[in-house]
Amino acid sequence: MEFCDVCRGCCHQPREQDHSSPTQVVLPRRGERLHHLHLYWKLTRGLCGPTAVGLVQNKTSDFGRVRRRVPMSVTINDVAKQAGMSVSTVSQALNDKGRISPPTKDRVRRAAMELGYIPDSRARSMRSSRSHAVGLLVPDIRNPYFSELVYAVQDQLYSAGYAPLIGVSSCQASREEDYYRILLSRHMDGVLVVPDGPTSPMLRTMLAREFPVVFVDRPDRALPGVPLVDSDPVPGLDAALDALATRGCRRVAFVPGPESRSYTFREREQAFLDGVDARQGLTGLVVRQGFEDRHRAAATMRRLLGQGVDAVIFGYSADAIKALAMEWDGDQRSRVPLVSFDDLEVFQLISPQVSVISQQVDRMGRQGVDMLLSMIEPGRQAPEGMSVDRRLRTQTLFVPRGLLA
C-alpha cells in the first residue's frame, strides 16, 4: 500500500485519495492502530479531519520487520484544550506562577497527566535564559568519599528544582576539557568542580565569560578568587592528637598522601605539625613515601612500628585502606591506634575500628550547591559564614572509635 503524501500516512489511503473535502470520514483499516481514542470519536462524527487522528499503521516488510509511525508529542496547546483554559493560564499553573487558584492548578495538572504532557525544558530555558541544570565534576566516582559528595549535591539540587550533569575526569586533563565543552554546549547554569591536577584552559575560558563556578573540597591555587567550599582540618586533627596524648601515645606518624596532587594534603600536614608542636610530650614523624601499593604499605608500617611509632594518622583514606590490608605481626593491630581522614564505611567493619576525622562531606556538598545557586539566581542569599575571599569552610570532626573510643 502506498502512503499519502499530504497527510504523511496518517489516513493510510492511496494517492488518489481526495483531500479537498476535510469532512470526509476515513476509518482505520485492518492492521492499523489508533493511539488517541478521543480523536477517533471526533473523526467518526465528522468533528475533525483525518490528519489530526494520529493513526499508526503496522507495515511488515519482506524481512518480517515492523515499522511504526511515532505519534506527535502532546503540546501545551493540547493541555489547554483538554482543560478548557487559555495557554497562558495553563503555563502559569504548571510553573506555579501568577495568581492561580488551587482548584485550577489541579484541573490543569489532571489534564496534563491524562494526555501524558511533558514540558519541553529547551523551550523553558530559551524563555528564562536558564536550563535549570548544573554540572558536577569529580576526579573518581569510585572513591566512596566522592560518591557521598555526589549524592549530597544531587539531593540538594533536586530540592531546588535543578538537575545534575555528573562528569568524572579520571584524573585526565583531556576528559576534563571535554566535559567543560559539553557544559557550555548544553547551556548549563553553572558547575561544581573538585579540582585535580593542572588548571584547565577551558575552565579559564569559562571564568573569563563569568560562567558560575564553585570549587568543592579543595581550591585551585592558580585560580584565586573562585568561590570555594572546603573543610578546615585543624579542629579534627587537634581533637585526634588530644585523644592520642590522653591514651599515652608519644610518637605519632602522619601519612599526608599524594601531596603533589592536592593543596589539601599539604595543608593537613602543616596542621599536624602545628598541632604536635603545641603539645608537650608529643613528637611527630611525617611519612611521604612507602604507600604506593599494599606490599610497600605493609613494609612501611612494620618499619614505623620498629622505630617506636605508637600511633598513625592518615591524611588520605586510600593509604589507610592499604595499611589495613597488610598482615600485622602478632597483636599489633589491637595495640596501635589508627586515625584516618574521611568517614568511610570500611573503617567500621574491621576490628578494632578505625577512628576518623570527618570532613562532613554531606554538609560541604549542600553548601556548595547553595553557594552556586546564589550566583545563578538573583536575590538568593549566599550561605552564612562565607569569608571576604568567598571561601566557606566546614569544621572537621573527630570521631573516636576502636582503641580511642
Q: Are 17 and 32 contacting, i.e. CB atoms less than 8 angstroms apart?
A: no
Q: What DSSP string describes 316-381?
A: SHHHHHHHHTS--STTGGGTS-EEEES--GGGGTSSSPPEEEE--HHHHHHHHHHHHHHHHSTTPP
Residues 160 and 147: their CA atoms lie apart, in Å, by 20
Asked if residue 59 has pLDDT above 60, the reply is no
Tell me the average pLDDT across 347-376. 94
Predicted local distance difference test score (pLDDT) of residue 376: 93
Residue 175 covered by a domain: yes
- Give residue-wise pLDDT tens across range 119-170: 665 555 445 567 889 999 999 998 889 999 999 999 999 999 999 999 999 8
Q: Are residues 156 and 236 in the same domain?
A: no
Predicted local distance difference test score (pLDDT) of residue 190: 94
Q: Are residues 269 and 355 in the same domain?
A: yes
Residue 287 covered by a domain: yes
Residues 41 and 38: their CA atoms lie apart, in Å, by 5
- Give residue-wise pLDDT tens across range 210-223: 999 999 999 998 99
Tell me the average pLDDT across 372-387. 89
Q: Are residues 259 and 356 in the same domain?
A: yes
Tell me the average pLDDT across 350-356. 90
Describe the crossing of helices 87-94 and 76-83 by its angle, rounded to 10 degrees: 100
Tell me the average pLDDT across 385-390. 84
Residues 191 and 179: their CA atoms lie apart, in Å, by 11
Q: Are residues 201 and 298 in the same domain?
A: no
Asked if residue 322 has pLDDT above 60, the reply is yes
Residue 32 covered by a domain: yes
Predicted local distance difference test score (pLDDT) of residue 17: 44
Residue 124 covered by a domain: no
Among 24-33, 100-109, 247-256, top mean pLDDT goes to: 247-256
Q: Are residues 135 and 190 in the same domain?
A: yes
User: At which of 57, 85, 119 does a domain end?
Assistant: 119
Q: Are residues 17 and 90 in the same domain?
A: no
- Give residue-wise pLDDT tens across range 168-178: 998 888 899 99
Residues 84 and 155: their CA atoms lie apart, in Å, by 37
Predicted local distance difference test score (pLDDT) of residue 329: 57
Q: Are residues 204 and 255 in the same domain?
A: no
Residue 178 covered by a domain: yes
Asked if residue 278 has pLDDT above 50, the reply is yes
Domain count, the chain: 4
Q: Are residues 240 and 339 in the same domain?
A: yes
Residue 370 covered by a domain: yes
Q: How many CB atoms lie within 10 A of CB 122?
A: 10
Tell me the average pLDDT across 237-242. 97
Describe the crossing of helices 76-83 and 102-115 by its angle, rounded to 10 degrees: 120
User: At which of 35, 55, 72 does a domain end?
Assistant: 72
Q: How many CB atoms lie within 10 A of CB 128?
A: 10
Asked if residue 292 has pLDDT above 90, the reply is no
Q: Are residues 164 and 66 in the same domain?
A: no
Average pLDDT value for the chain: 81
Write the CATH number for 185: 3.40.50.2300
Q: Are residues 290 and 322 in the same domain?
A: yes
Query: Band of the pLDDT at 274, cuts 50, 70, 90?
Result: very high
Range of the domain at 88: 76-119
Q: Which of 9, 20, 21, 82 lies closest to 51 in space, CA to CA? A: 9
Distances (CA, A) of 198 to 89, 218, 228, 232, 261: 51, 13, 17, 23, 9
User: At which of 84, 119, 154 does a domain end?
Assistant: 119
Q: Are residues 53 and 169 in the same domain?
A: no
**pTM across the whole model:** 0.69
Asked if residue 352 has pLDDT above 60, the reply is yes
- Give residue-wise pLDDT tens across range 72-93: 577 888 888 888 888 888 888 8
Residue 273 covered by a domain: yes
Asked if residue 361 has pLDDT above 50, the reply is yes
Predicted local distance difference test score (pLDDT) of residue 331: 60
Phi, psi of 394 (to 5 degrees): -90, 150
28 vs 148: which has the higher pLDDT: 148
Residue 141 covered by a domain: yes
Predicted local distance difference test score (pLDDT) of residue 57: 40
Asked if residue 13 has pLDDT above 80, the reply is no
- Give residue-wise pLDDT tens across range 182-202: 888 888 999 999 998 888 899
Q: Are residues 173 and 60 in the same domain?
A: no
